[in-house]
Amino acid sequence: ETVFVARESNPDEGRVSASPDSVKKLKTLGFDVVVEAGAGLLSRVPDAAFESAGARIGTAADAKSADVVLRVRRPVAAETASYKSGAIVIAIMDPYGNEAALAEMASAGLTAFAMELMPRITRAQSMDVLSSQANLAGYQAVIDAAAEFDRAMPMMMTAAGTVPAAKVFVMGAGVAGLQAIATARRLGAVVTATDVRPASKEQVASLGAKFIAVEDDEFKAAETSGGYAKPMSEAYQAKQAVLTAEHLAKQDIVITTALIPGRPAPRLITREMLKAMKPGSIAVDLAVERGGNIEGAVAGSVVEVEGVKVVGYNNVPGRIATSASSLYAKNLVTFLETMVSKETGMLALNIEDELVKATMLTHGGTVVHPNFAPAPV
Ligand code: NAD
């Protein structure tokens, strides 16, 4: 059986879905591996590195005969049409709002898996792309903020005087936010953070940052069984806005990471709040592609809003592509391994497996995922 590693067609995508290590692992699982020429270039993995790991370098036409296609992003229509009916395609599928693309994959006969729907259970931790990529994004957000900031991050006491430590506020203390806190602390900033999940309070404190939040009854109940945030009431958001506004006015850098799965990102910072910040402050919006936490943030750009530089890069994990690809490749191969029968060494999809149930979007010609399947008539 053959695994095809696609070269990403989206020009904004620097990551690749395999690494030399993951190719070696695929080979030991019994797969032939074909890597599309140049697939790893933007992640600094030359074709030769894949070749010495045991892959053959091929072209897009090789996808036609592959049993498994590995990608970073969902295939575009022409790519979908070029895959063999019955092939497994695994990627970050971005399924919400893209039902037409799911229907295309279904009618092409593909069995498509969305890695971002992986359940957050112990068995699947090593397959959790949201965590592996968000962790790097949280780090990179601080690096991007530091690059835009005209001052130093750490306190510096010199013969010529003292430079104060930067004050960094992290909004949303999930995987990305916690790494942003840790990174800002390592750079010597004074860090505060907020979240709507009460469980995050202790995690923030354990990283040496101060927790700031409206801790009312709604807050105390604000976590789903899956560990995700719930949308908060308007009344809560109003109270949160007052607290945020006061706190923000004293900050140098704010990094927002707040997301609610399957919904637009909550708006946390208004233009007004930016205006109250000191000139030269930096605001990094890691949720910009999902609608943005910050008013005025522009996806794919750094813009100045009310004297604050608002950083809204797309695909932040892709800005640190070599590290991101290596972790993503490991997530993919670990998941694919669960689909290989220990007895026969061949692909044997178990549609009763909870990992498969949670992530399988299309199979047997239809959209099968309950969140996206057309309502029964
Ligand atoms: P996410 O990317 O969905 O959201 C980022 C953060 O934004 C979350 O912490 C969320 O609570 C927060 N947020 C949402 N609305 C907000 C608002 N209005 N104001 C402030 N913050 C807001 O979350 P994530 O990083 O994927 O993590 C979600 C949870 O899952 C965390 O508890 C994390 O530790 C947990 N997790 C568990 C596992 C596991 O395998 N058990 C793996 C990864 C993450």
3-state secondary structure of 147: helix
Predicted confidence (pLDDT) per residue in 83-105, tens digit: 999 999 999 999 988 999 999 99
- Residue 68 pLDDT > 80, yes or no? yes
- Model pTM score: 0.93
C-alpha span between 89 and 179 (Å, rounded): 30
Please count the other Cβ atoms lying within 10 Å of the Cβ belonging to residue 51. 14
User: 60 CA distance to ligand 1 centroid (A)?
Assistant: 37
**pLDDT at res. 368:** 96
Per-residue pLDDT band at 375 (split at 50, 70, 90)? low
Q: Is 71 a catalytic residue?
A: no
Residue 228 a catalytic site member: yes
94 catalytic per annotation: no
CA of 175 to the centre of ligand 1 (A): 6
Ligand 1 pocket test, candidate residues 123, 218, 259, 288, most atoms within 8 A of CB? 259
Q: What is the pLDDT of residues 303-351, one digit of tens each?
A: 999 999 999 999 999 999 999 999 999 999 999 999 999 999 999 999 9
Residues with CB under 6 A from ligand 1: 120, 125, 128, 130-131, 134, 171-177, 194-197, 199-200, 227-229, 232, 257-261, 266, 268
Strands 190-194 and 167-171 turn out to be parallel
Quote the DSSP letter at residue 313.
Answer: -
